[in-house]
Structure 1
Amino acid sequence: EEIDIHEHATLYALDVMCETAMGIQLRAQDNLSKDYVNCVKRVGILTVYRMQNLYLHRDWIFELTPKGAEFKKHLNELHSYTLKIIRERKQMFMESKQNMAEIDHDNYGQVKKRKAFLDLLLELDTDNKLSEKDIREEVDTFLFEGHDTT
């Protein structure tokens, strides 16, 4: 008997990438983030559809189509979610900045928790040269490319 693991592998990859990129537990495998998962799937499907139709390669043409409008809607939802996470993590980072410095210099042999990609970006951006959009684009690239390769 054949078992199709594609859906399970995709949800697992999305969980791993969200935790790695943004430091959050999406729990896509537990069906707790249906809206986000559906947006990711639709953006992927619509991207493939667009790539397969040469006349849709031009942005202005694609944006005039119903599928272009759907793509934009889902992409905006994904961007909003990512920005929400960025703002929350940035707030947490700012509130615990002093505490984090103390933890980073701890020499008691304790294993440090691995940092998410987003946390590393926030930590490295000490002089606020990166806008929220810049950070979102980096996180989205890391997240979507990592998820897309599964």
Structure 2
Amino acid sequence: MMRIALLGGFALCLAACDNSPFDPERAEEAARAGGDVRMQPGLYRSRVSIGAAGGDAAGSQYGDDTICLTPEDVAGGNREMLLAMQGRDSCRFDSYDLSGDRLEAVMVCKGGQFQPETEARISGTVTPTASDLQMTVAGFENVAGETAGGIEMRVTNERIGDCPESGD
């Protein structure tokens, strides 16, 4: 779940690593390629809190984890990471507005036999090394088949270093 939350929130970074000398202008341009932000590959601390819409503490959950994002994980930018989290074939963005480091988006995911269509409103900040996103997801049904409101989720991610070397 932490990997999904980080990739959803999530978030957004720098272009894949290469052996070229660091050039701040080139790095910023690469991070903003295509009107999106790409996270810098590396080790991230991800915190997720989930609760019922309207602040009902009865549904609250919290997670804190670290995850290593590879250049392949971040290559498509934040938009692709959010879609991959839910499945590219089942979700689409109705809107995706990134202005500076501020993101406002609406993602709609198709319903299925046991789940109605859901809509996630996403707002917050994204940079190549951190994100802080608030998501409100609506469209869930309770066991009686009635609309049961939604959930609110806050996902924060912060790059804390390089990924550890693998032991292969």
TM superposition score category, shorter chain reference = under 0.3
More strand by share: 2
Larger Rg, first or second structure (1 or 2)? 1
Q: TM-score, normalised on structure 1?
A: 0.26
Q: TM-score, normalised on structure 2?
A: 0.24
